[in-house]
Amino acid sequence: MSLSESIVPANEDGIILKWIWDYPIVKLGIHEFYQVPRRNYRESMWLRGPEDDVDGYVLMPIRPKDDKLDFPGNPTLESVGSTMRSGVAVYSHRDVFGAVQNGVAATDLAVFNPIDLYFECAFVMGAHGWAEPGGELSDELLSRVIEVEGIDFVAKAKKRFGEAGWYAYAGEVAARHFAAPLSRLWYVANLMSLCVAHKDDLRLGYLWAEYRIKMSYEVFALRHIEVKEKNRASGLKGGQADKKRERYHVLDRLARQHVKELAFASDRDALRIARRLTVEHDAKADAPLFSVNGKALSRDWLDEWLRHFRQAARGVE
């Protein structure tokens, strides 16, 4: 059981009141979450305090099934010289003459070049008017930060991060107040601060890698999400109805060929015959019609079809 599945509120006797999967599901892009009231979340964590009555929700991620064997899509390794690619991951050997075929450890990879980071941050912040051509924060931006943080902001920042780091921290504070979270400007301002001011290598490496992936693949990911949503909407508006009509048409034709078997059959036997006809059809077809993702259509679907078929037969009579 995952951590999210264990988030269940209990009464004073320890009796579970609600399982995680009983909460409503909300979507953010292609991700789904259980929407747990904050009070229930706090109770499940055995937290007590003045915030118990605070409104709001905690989103608990719904994890897709994972066999833990490989990444989604089972990407394969490709390599040319000292450069390799697997899925969206592309790396080069630190030694340009290093042979990928001889095996590679993570320590062999050229994963970070601070010059690339500095130039990227300076150019993006400059494009937004946040930085001068030399990379320093613009006077206008610094004035806006001081207006929000107070006249002693620079002195405090210099005392905390030194002459080399205070300006990078000022960019982080500016992003907190004036940039949309997770925007490109927000990323670069925080990346520079993590590198120069906080020296938080772990968080820096994670967000820098994510930044590069977003720059390379964000458009493709957004298009994929858009296509999935359009297909879903199409299915709700008519795509599923079209597939249902096709299945009914084919199964009606097959049933008429076995009308003598079906005429006096009980519901149970009729459903068994219908199931056999769908299996026999899909076994011969280029593409299965009566299954979804490898699973046969449900008993309820066959029940509904059988009612339709018998009503149509009575109408013919």
40 vs 211, residue with greater confidence: 211
pTM check: above 0.85: no
The pLDDT tens digits of the residues spanning 96-122 come to 776 666 778 888 888 888 999 999 999
pLDDT (tens digit per residue) in 53-98: 567 888 888 887 788 888 888 888 888 878 888 988 888 888 777 6
- Residues 8, 45: Cα–Cα separation, whole Å: 9
Sequence ranges of the domains in the chain: 4-61, 77-108, 114-199, 223-316
- The alpha carbon of residue 44 and the mean position of all alpha carbons in its chain are separated, in whole angstroms, by 25
Most confident of the ranges 77-86, 136-145, 231-240, 290-299: 136-145
Low-confidence winner among 92-101, 164-173, 180-189 (lowest mean pLDDT): 92-101
Poorest-pLDDT segment among 1-15, 56-70, 142-156, 196-210: 1-15
86-125 burial, b if ≥16 CB within 10 A, otherwise e? eeeeebbbeeeebebeeebeeebeeeeeeeebeebbbebb
Give the span between the Cα atoms of 152 and 159, in whole angstroms: 11
Q: Is the pLDDT of residue 14 over 50?
A: no
pLDDT of 317 reads: 40
